[in-house]
Every structure is written in C-alpha cells, then in structure tokens.
Structure 1
Amino acid sequence: MIELKNIDVTFYQKKKAVEAVKEVTLTIEKEDVFGIVGYSGAGKSTLVRVINLLQRPTSGEVIINGKNILTFSPKELRAQRKNIGMIFQHFNLMKERTIFGNIDFSLKYSGLTKIQRKEKIDKLLDLVGLSDKKEAYPSQLSGGQKQRVAIARALANDPEILLCDEATSALDPKTTIQILDLLKKLNKELGLTIVLITHEMQVVKEICNKVAVMEAGRVIEQNDIVSVFSQPKEALTKDFIRTATHIDQALETIVQHPSLTELGGNEVLVEFSYVGDQTSEPLIAQLYSQYHVVTNILYGNVEILQNVPIGNLIVILSGEETQREKALNFLREQEVKIKILKEAGSPNNVIPLPAVSQ
C-alpha cells in the first residue's frame, strides 16, 4: 500500500547540508500497524511527513496504492491527503472551538450538509468514547481526551492511512495504553493502516505488527515484531528491546545485590531467551530430571507479541560441569538462546551492565 523507495531528505542550514533521511526503503502493507522507532534526531518524524508530502524528499519515490504521489498535481495531492489522517504529540486542537467544532472544521470542504456533518461527528465521537464531550472545549479535557479528539478529527474524511507522530509521548502510562487500545480497535474495525512514530519500543511492543529502527537518518533494521524482538541484529535495536522487556532493569537489580550472584564451584549465572512453543514446554524441570542440574530463577518474564509468546529468564544453574554442559546443549537443541553472564571464580564485574540510553 505504501512504498518508500530510496528516500533522501537533505536540509541546508547556513550553507551546510544536513542529511535528515538517507536511502530509506520501506514497504507498509494494507492494515499494518507499522512502527518506526529511534531516538531524537534519528529522522523518523521527517520520514513520516514524506508519506503525505508535508516534507518533500530530495530524491526517491513515494508510492501509495501503486501511484507515485510525487507526480501528482496540486489538486490530486489535496485529494490524496484527505486519504491520510495525522495525529501529533501535542494534539493541535483549536482552543476557541468546541470539540464538535474542532472536528467539524475538518469537514469544511467535504461537501456534506450540516445534518450529515453532525451525524458523522456524533459517530466519530462515539467511536473514540467522547459522546458526552462534544460541547466541551479543549481546556476542559484531559490529555488522553484531547488525543481522542485529535484521532476523531483525523478520521473525519475516512482516511485509509493514519500517521501517528509521537502521539502518546505527552501522555501518562495508563492513558498511553488506552490510546493504543483505541488505535488497535480502529485498525481492526476500520481496516486502517497505521504508521506510528515513537522513541519508545514499549509502545511498538503494545500495538505494532512490524517495525523499522532508525539511526542517523537510516533504517538500520526492519522486520515483523516477533522477529525483531526475538532476533535483533543491531546494537541499537538490542538496546531498545532490552529496555522494553525490562531485562536490563532486572540485571541491574541483580548486580546491585551481590548476594544473589555469589556462585559456588559448580554454579553459573545464565540468561535464557526463548520464543513460541518453547515457552509452554517444561524445559527447566527437565534440566533436573534428565541432568540433575538445579535451576534457581532470579528473574522471569513472558510476553505475548502478535499472539506469539516470548520469554526471558536469568537463572543460576547448579550441578557438575559436565552435566551443566549437557543441560545447556539440550536447551540449545530446543532453540533456546543462552548467554553466560558469570561463572564461579570470575570477578563480580563480569556481568554486563545495561547500556545507557541516549
């Protein structure tokens, strides 16, 4: 549905070229919830604005439904933009208009009658759960309610695509989950294709089925969400994911309590990662029954991404070295990823501390 081919965006500041986006190629299918994640300055907001040509690329192609919209006339481009809704971090509501008036403004050139506009606005407010707020003003609403109004306004012209630029960054965690649940509902009920820009992998984890990771203007990694979370390739991606899965926070807590990691002669501190059917298998129990290796679990977590379970464990394995090796080989055969964090006799600082986020 959306194809970005070899997109470059270059700005010129004080006669100096700034490459905001470099050679980005992405394909976003119909009804995807596609996350683009990166730290500030990665180029993700610039890239998302290329999709509706609020930012024209320096080079490349922007193809939507098989047509390169860079070739569109101004009239064709206006029509195309009606097919693309957009919501922002700070809502951009008109404070002097009621909630009804804010949404009605988007229908100004829709050709609908006053009665038809009212019916449509009522349906939109019902869809986003704000039927009782249509005569209120933005100043009377919470941040989450304002974002719901912004979503209703973005849907006013029945778009096929919804662009979300840091749409939850100004919201508290509870409200963020509510807005993401609403976006999931709209994706399913309306068949919306959603492109979501964020610096938080936690947000991507909650809603997206595919993700691209950006750094310094380039897409350094992209795949379906399960593949990226279970098999990240780039260091930045691993940093994002370990933060989102809380594994680094757990490891930091363990490091700060040396009594948890004082190892005897037949012990080793290990991190396990596993995905899919492995999470429902009693693998840990089998380590003792088959190899007489005792497992002391210091941290465990299982999450469901796109109906696929993904798990992490930090454990101390106790048993004779040869039996431990057999046990670890057994786990490797079950496609469990293994990372040795510390062995008996090694210094306390061998456990890798969490990377510092930018």
Structure 2
Amino acid sequence: MIELQEVSVVFPQKGGALTAVQKVNLQVEKGDIFGIVGYSGAGKSTLVRVMNLLQRPSSGKVWVAGTELTALSEKKLREKRKGIGMIFQHFNLMDSRTVFDNVDFSLKYTGKSKAARQQKVTELLDLVGLADKELAYPSQLSGGQKQRVAIARALANDPAILLCDEATSALDPKTTLQILALLKRLNQELGLTIVLITHEMQIVKEICNKVAVMEKGRILEVGNSVQIFSQPKEALTQDFIRTATHLDQALETIFSQPTLAKLASNQWLVELSYVGEQTNEPLIAQLYSRYQVTTNILYGNVEFLQNTPIGSLIVILSGELHQRQQALRHLQQQGVSVQVLQEAGVAPLATEASA
C-alpha cells in the first residue's frame, strides 16, 4: 500500500544542513496497522509527512497504492491525497464551527449535494460514536471527543490509508485506549491501512501488527510486533520493550530490596522470556522435578500481541552449580530465552546465559 525507496529529507540550515530522514526503505502492506516508534527527534513525524508528500523528500521515491507520488503534478497529487487521511496530536479543529461543520468542511469541494454531504457526515459521526454531538463546538468536547471528530473528518473522503502523527499523545491513558480501540475497529471494518507514529511502545503493543524503530533519521529494525517484542535485536528496541513491559521498573524495585542485595552462593537471579506455546508448559515445576532447582518468582508478566502470549519472569534459581547449569540448558532447549542478571558476590550482569 505504501512503499518508500531510499527516502531522505534534508533541511538547509545556516552553516550546514539537518538530515531528518536518511535513506529509508519501508513497505506497509494493505490492512496493516503499522507503528513507527522512536524518541523525540528521531524523524518519525517527518517520515509520516513524506507518505502523503506534505513533506517532499530531498531524494528517493514514494509509492502509494501503485502510484509514484513523487512523479505527480501538484494537481494530480492533490487528487491522490484524498485517498490518504491524516490526524494529528492537537486535533486541528476549527473552533468557530460545530462538530458537524468541521467534518462537512472536508466534503465542501467534492461535488456532493448538500443532502449527500449531510448523510455522509451523519454516518461518520455515528461511526466514531459522536452522533449526539453534531451541534456541539470543539470547546465543549473532551480531548478524546475532539480526536474522534478529527478521525471522522479524516475519513470523509473514504481514504484507504490513515496516517496518525502522535494522535494519542495529548490524551489521558483511558482515553488513549478508547481511541486505539476505535482505530482498530476502523481497520477491521473498513479495511483501513493505518500508519501510527508514536514514542510509546505501549501504543504499538496495543494495536500494531508491524513496527519499525527509528533513531536519528534511520530505520533500525522492522518486523511484526510479536517478533520485535520477543526478539528485539537493537539496543534501542530492547530499551523500548523493557519500558513497555515494565521489566525495568520491576528490576529497579528488586535491586532496591535489602534482602535481595546479596544472593547466596548457590543462587542466580535470572530473567526468562518465552513466546506462544511455551506459556502453557509447566517449565518452572520441571526445574525442581528434573534438576532439584528451586525457583522463587519475583516478577511475572504475560502480554498478548496479535493473540500470541509473550511471557517474562524474573526468578531466583537455587541449587548446586551443575544443577543450575542443567536447568538453564533445559530451558534454552525448550525455546526459552535465558539471561543471568546477577550471581552471588558479583555485580548485576547483562550477558546471555550459557550453560
């Protein structure tokens, strides 16, 4: 649905140039909810604006639904943009117009009759759950309601693509989940392809089936959400994942406990990560029955991404050295990712365990 080929964006500046996007190659398939995540300044917003040529790339090509946008005249580009809706962090509603008129404004120059436009706006407001707010003004709405109006307006011309630039950043957590649920429903009911720009991996976790991680204008890592969450390759991706799954918070709490500051000589502090069917296996029970290794669970979490469970445990394993080694080897053979975080008398580790 969207393909970027060697796309770069360079902004001229006094005394030099700022490269916001560097040679990005990216594909978004029809029906994807594609998340692009990165910290502030990574180039995410510039990249999403390239997808509808609100920001023309300095070099490279942009294809949408089989058409090369970068080769179109301004007139043809404006026509093509009707198939690409866009919503923003700050809603961009017109305060002097009612909810109905804000949505209707997108239909003003479509050639539709007044009756057809009225019917379309009514359908859209019903779709986003605002049928009772058509005569209200933006100042009378909550943040979530304003974003629903913005979504309805973006859908007015029946786009195949919806670009969302930090669309939930101005919303509280509960409202954010409601807007994400709406976007997911629109994706399923309308077959809408959605590109979601965010700095929060939690947002990606909620609805995205694919994700790209950006840093300093480059795409570091791309994959389906299960793959990225269970096997992140890049350090930045790992950082995002650990924040989203609350592992870092759990470890900080664990290491701050005086009783856990010093492990016994026959103990390891270990992080276990597992995906899919492994969450149904009694792996912890097997460690004692097979290797006489006892397990003290300090933290546990299971996330569901695209209906696939992804689990994390932080445990203290106790037993003779050779028994612990055999236990870790068994876990790895079962497909569990094992990381020894701390040994007795040694500072916390960050190396993959090897038996």
Q: Secondary structure at the match of 1:243?
A: helix
Task: Describe the SS at the equivalent of 1:300.
Answer: strand
Indicate the SS of the match to 1:22.
strand
Match of 2:353 in 1: none
Give 2:52's aligned amino acid: N
SS of the equivalent of 1:350 reads coil
Secondary structure at the residue paired with 2:290? Answer: helix
Q: Which residue of 1 aligns with 2:315?
A: 315
Instruction: Name 2:206's counterpart in structure 1.
Output: 206
Q: Distance in 1 between matches of 2:162 and 2:265?
A: 57
Which deviates more from structure 2 when the two are superposed, residues 253-262 or residues 212-221? 253-262
Other structure's SS at 2:273 match: strand
> Which amino acid in the other structure matches residue 16 of structure 1?
G
Structure 1 residue 329, shift from structure 2 partner = 0.5
| Structure 1 counterpart of 2:67 | 67
User: How many residue pairs align between the two structures?
Assistant: 350
Q: In the alignment, residue 214 of structure 1 is paired with which amino acid?
A: M
Q: Unaligned stretches of 5+ in structure 1?
A: 353-358
Aligned mates of 1:331, 1:7 — CA distance in 2: 43
What SS does the corresponding residue of 1:214 show, helix, strand or coil? Answer: strand
Q: String of CA shifts for 1:58-101, please: whole Å, max 9, x gaps.
A: 00010112221111122211111100000000000000000000
C-alpha separation in 1, matches of 2:106 and 2:48: 21
The CA distance in 1 between the partners of 2:89 and 2:163, in whole Å, is: 11
Give the alignment's TM-score, normalised by structure 1: 0.96
2:244 aligned with 1:244, yes or no? yes
Partners of 2:166 and 2:151 in 1: how far apart?
13
Match of 2:262 in 1: 262
What is the letter of the counterpart of residue 302 of structure 1? Answer: V
The one-letter code of the counterpart of 1:114 is K
**Residues 261 and 269, structure 1, Cα contact 8 Å, conserved in 2:** no
Q: Partner residue of 1:356?
A: none
Q: Deviations over 1:280-328 (max 9, x none)?
A: 1111111111111111000000000011110110000111111111111
Partner of 2:142: 142
1:3 equivalent in structure 2: 3
Q: Which amino acid aligns with 1:65?
A: A
In structure 2, how many angstroms separate the alpha carbons of the residues matched to 1:92 and 1:229?
33
Give the residue type in structure 2 aligned to 1:146.
K
1:350 aligns to 2:353 (yes or no): no
The Cα shift of 1:351 comes to: 5.5
Q: Which aligned segments of 4 or more residues in structure 1 are displaced greater than 6 angstroms?
A: none
RMSD: 1.0
Q: How many Å separate the matches in 1 of 2:80 and 2:170?
A: 29
Identity of aligned residues (%): 69
- Following superposition, the deviation at residue 336 of structure 1 comes to 0.6
1:7-86, aligned counterparts within 5 Å?
A: 7-86=7-86
Cα offset for 1:266?
1.4
String of CA shifts for 1:164-186, please: whole Å, max 9, x gaps.
Answer: 00000000000000000000000
Whole-angstrom distance in 1 between the partners of 2:140 and 2:315: 50
2:169 is aligned to 169
How far 1:261 sits from its partner (Å)? 4.5
Conserved in 2, the CA contact under 8 Å of 1:38 and 1:214? Answer: yes
Partner of 1:115: 115
TM-score norm. by structure 2 comes to 0.97
Contact kept in structure 1, 2:205 and 2:305, CA below 8 Å: yes
Whether the 8 Å contact between 2:262 and 2:345 is mirrored in structure 1 is: no
Match of 2:196 in 1: 196
Counterpart residue type for residue 210 of structure 1: K
CA distance in 2, matches of 1:200, 1:306: 18
1-side partners of 2:73 and 2:226: how far apart?
Answer: 40
| Residues 32-65 of structure 1 deviation map (CA, whole Å, 9 limit, x = unaligned) | 0001111111111001000110000000010112
CA distance in 2: counterparts of 1:197 and 1:282, whole angstroms: 39
1:95 is matched with: 95
Give a deviation string over 1:111-153, Cα, whole Å, max 9, x none: 1111111111111111101110000000000000000000000
- Name the structure 2 match of 1:178: 178
